[in-house]
Structure 1
Amino acid sequence: MFRIEMLPAAHGDCLWIEYGNAQQVRRILIDGGPAHTYPALRERILQLPADERHFELLIITHIDADHIEGIVRLLQDAQALNCRFERIWFNGREQLNQVVDPAGVPLGALQGEMLGMLIADYEKRTGKQVWNVGLTDALAAIDRTAGKLPVVDLPGDCRLTLLSPDHERLLELKDCWRDELRKAGVASGDEAALRQALEGARNLRPLGDVLGADGEPIEDRFELPDPAGRDLAAGLDDTLGGGDGEAGADAPFGGDASRANGSSIAVLLEYPNDQPKVRFLLAGDAWPSVLEASVNQLLSGQDKRLSLTGFKLPHHGSVANTSAALLRKLRCQHYLVSTSGAVFRHPHVRALELLLSEHAGQGKPQLHFNYLTETTAAWSDPADQQARRYQAFHPKGLSLFL
């Protein structure tokens, strides 16, 4: 059994994965969406019996608000929800400082430091080491000089191969964190200041174990895109974008310059690990050039493409995180797009049209969206699907199941 759900996370990501059998279902959670969509994740957790709220792995791909804020709230709620994690993968200050850096300056940003503090709190409370467990040197990163990609086997015959980030991308992120902390008025490792900042962030408050306790709505709100490209919904701004900010729909393919996105964790999930029937590329917001380099390492001399069951598109279908070179390395059937189109109006039409033109899988390409909104409706026309030989699926409920 394998199931993946894209929970409603507005312009962000929140992936709920289940595998195993009826006797023992195992779970992986990837990202938590922005703060205001956390009630949907919390509701999904509360649907489980209290003694089954257990995850083999929680991955926080990177520090952008539309991926991290829901996890900040969840970790504060974990004890009340009886929510338990065997492993939490996240690159924070301590991990970045492990990467060999000619400058040798330890750095940290507010988002990463705050989440790192909460993971450390979780370890102290549970008495269990979870932070980057299973990864070499407790670092979720690729050393290209090692000649092979990190591989971790999870209980229940699930295998994860790390595809992003590499050390170079982490160093680029590390280089700009000092300035971000200075802007926030917080010194690296200042736990008292971090806790004060967290307590003062009303949008990041925990909700406890009572469903709908504070009346906060579970349904998503659709934020109107801001003309200046700012994230109006974020409490912890996406401050580490770099370059000229969020790439627009007319940007060059594969041109993402965001240091935060470059640091995104991406994995190849295979289940069962001995003879995989399911292979998913779960890309976070990773750069296509980094993914392409990793896919090349996986391909043998005879294999021209990596065969996949599904591909969760990086950065919500942005042109900046899509490239023909990457797509030509893949043979895929299902393509997942997690976004409501809020704020940055993803997915970009050009990105999905490129995907359809480069599709090389067996049968028609199948597009899976977790919202039916203005930005995803272009692929909802049955006549267009029939004429151009693709299929598209939009949700009928709170989340998409595959």
Structure 2
Amino acid sequence: MIFSLEALQADHGDALILHYGDASNPKFILIDGGPTAAGYHDVIKARLQEIHAAFFDEDVPLPLEMLMVSHIDDDHIDGLLELTREAIERDDEGSSPLYDIRTLWFNSFDEILGNKPAEIASVVASVMADRNSPILGTSVGDHFISDVLASVPQGRRLRADAKRLGLTPNLFFRNPDGSPALVAALDDGPRKLDFGNGLSLTVIGPSKKRISDLHDKWEQEIANDPSPETIAELAANADLSVPNLSSIVVLAEFGGKSMLLTGDARSDDVLKGLISAELIDNGSDTLSVDLLKLMHHGSNRNVTKTFFRRVRARHYVVSGNGEHNNPDIDTFEEMLEPGREDSDDFTIHLTNADGKHDFGTKIQAYEARKNGRGRTFSLKFRDDSALSIIVDLLEPVNY
């Protein structure tokens, strides 16, 4: 049996493949698509073609049990938009499809904010059209406002593409009238879904309350000041960011192993979600998982020592290339602080050993400090010639 997470080279973004099931007939979920269309063709599509060749005849589309967009943000969605664009183009040409996609999970900006989509879309369009706008050159947290605003029409396009391709949106999540609902956790108990073929997915976040509170806060702020500047800054505000605060977080379980996949969620929100899902209590107990995909590319803005004290893993996966100083070395240091024994062995898997803002030098210095302190954990990097780095929890992926 296979249960593996593959982190593809996505520069400063995320692009993951979850492999699970029988080794002779595994299932696949594609989670996020990185920040560029070129990355889809050069990395994601290339890797999916390798997988296809290992199991299927040329004229049979590769089954993908799900496309999941953890949140609508440029560094997670662009590659998937290129995938859907190509799929529509092939359909228009009468070519056979490359993929057979069961469902698409994503929460769009419009759906989260509910009653403001037209107003927000209009403001975004006007601000983005004015390339001299001072708003575009500013940043909040790890994002330029221009990048966050660009994700608003991206979410709309993905929704339109999904409809054009006949994809089932947000399987398992329905409103009373049968229409697709937001992918969200319950506020008072676990939402554990049987995804079939032995895989269970427990939705940890976002919570319905988090989405409701976010909607209400936006309403209040816009009522006080409905200017384009206010809406643009709200879009990227670290505490009110619709993309990050609505990030889909799931606990995937298969064959007695577990992975916590966090998107770009904040660690305090993840802890609240784990408490609501009854996986930890409101005190000081801990959750042990086999694998944790670090939130927000290892940014220390999204994680705290408290989180690492309460959630422990044998494997940590980090996708980043130094952009915005992510992954942040302080994040790795915080893993060691909350009383973790020197002999407690774990592995940090990184998609890049070098990158922007002198990341390579920083990670080498961190590794030297770690070795000097006698720590037994290890760092593993994607080989420069490889499309990805794979973490196997059961049988190894050898295709």
Unaligned runs of 5+ in 2: 91-96, 122-149, 176-180, 392-399
How does the TM-score come out when normalised to structure 1?
0.71
Contact 2:6 2:389 in 1 (8 A): yes
Letter in 2 for 1:31: D
Contact 1:92 1:113 in 2 (8 A): no
CA distance in 1, matches of 2:39, 2:183: 26
Residue type of the partner of 2:24? Answer: Q
* Larger mean Cα displacement after TM superposition, 329-338 or 41-50: 41-50
111, 115, 137: which is aligned to 1:95? Answer: 111
Q: Corresponding residue for 1:388?
A: 375
TM (normalized to structure 2)? 0.72
Counterpart in 1 of 2:100?
A: 84
Per-residue CA distance 1:41-96 (angstroms, 9 max, x = gap): 12122222452522111111112110111111111112535222111111125632
Instruction: Tell me the amino acid that sits aligned with residue 115 of structure 1.
Output: G
Does the aligned pair in 1 maintain the 2:284–2:310 contact within 8 Å?
A: no
Cα deviation digits, residues 192-236 of structure 1 (max 9, x gap): xxxxxxxxxxxxxxxxxxxxxxxxxxxxxxxxxxxxxxxxxxxxx
Q: Which amino acid aligns with 2:199?
A: C
- 1:140 and 2:186 correspond: no
The structure in which a higher percent of residues are helix is 2
CA distance in structure 2 between the partners assigned to 1:328 and 1:26 by the alignment: 33
**Contact kept? 1:6, 1:338, Cα under 8 Å:** yes
**What displacement does 1:150 show?**
2.2
Partner of 1:159: 200
Matched, 1:41 2:41: no
Secondary structure of the residue aligned to 1:133 is coil
Percent identity over paired residues = 27
1:58 is the counterpart of 2:67? yes
Structure 2 SS opposite 1:11: coil
- Residue of structure 2 equivalent to 1:12: 13
> What per-residue deviation string (whole Å, max 9, x for no partner) do you get for residues 150-198 of structure 1?
222212111111111123443465565998x9969xxxxxxxxxxxxxx
Q: Counterpart amino acid of 1:391?
A: S
Higher share of residues assigned strand: 2
**Partner AA of 1:375 in structure 2:** F
**What's the CA shift string for 1:259-306, capped at 9, x where partnerless?**
42111111111013xxx2x21111000011110112223336699211
Aligned partner letter, 2:6: E
Cα 1:182–1:11 shift into 2, 3 Å: farther
Measure, in 2, the Cα distance between the counterparts of 1:5 and 1:149: 27
Q: What residue identity is the alignment partner of 2:46?
A: E
Alignment of 1:183-202 (within 5 A): none
Residue 136 of structure 1: CA displacement? 4.7
Instruction: Give the counterpart of 1:353 among 319, 326, 333.
Output: 333
Q: Secondary structure at the match of 1:68?
A: helix
**Aligned partner of residue 45 in structure 2, secondary structure:** helix
Q: Gaps (5+ residues) in structure 1?
A: 99-103, 185-236, 244-255
Q: What RMSD in Å do the two structures reach over aligned CA positions?
A: 3.2
Residues 29, 376 of structure 1: CA spacing in aligned structure 2 closer, same or farther, 3 A cutoff? farther
| 1:266 alignment counterpart | 249
1:67 match? 76
Alignment correspondent of 2:258: 279
2:318 matched to 1:337?
A: yes
Q: How many residues align?
A: 323
Q: d(CA) in 2 for partners of 1:23 and 1:390?
A: 32
